[in-house]
A and B are shown apart, each in its own frame.
Chain A
């Protein structure tokens, strides 16, 4: 059974760095056919794709976040990470770690989500 567990600071100051980690259990993140990503849900808004990375290391970012975003994997820890810098108030959201069963579609596994508030 695949499990995705997000972790990170609940509060980030504006202009500082928002850093999240997703610990994956039940599957190797580097095995072929596995693609990973982040999707967020801001208060009062709809779902928004943040970025995705596949098992070979190919990454794709939301155009609106690309200049501030880095998504990476740590195969030794079986983790996926995202860094958003500098953070702004509009980055306040619940962040979900996800698995795509097919590149950029079919998001078949979701973490429980972690809430991040960007505020001074």
Chain B
């Protein structure tokens, strides 16, 4: 059974940092591009960042570029998101996901970890 389990969320002051983690199991993690997608409370979905299976291609949304860093450890089946310079509008539920581009059977999401940026 596939599991993606996010952790590391919490309450942080504006300008602070957090590191999110996502532990993967039940599929061949190293074969898939991975993504972070966030959802502010009672709002829609926003793609944040993606990393290719060998970490050679990394992309960020304009809203987080220069502040967030995505990384992965295929040996340990884990995905991370280092978030610096946090702002109130970064407050959201952060999901790790495969977000498959046109492929069947590999749509996997975690339950999300909540980040709240507030003074």
A and B together in one complex: no
Q: Which residues of A contact B (CB under 8 A)?
A: none
Q: Which residues of B contact A (CB under 8 A)?
A: none
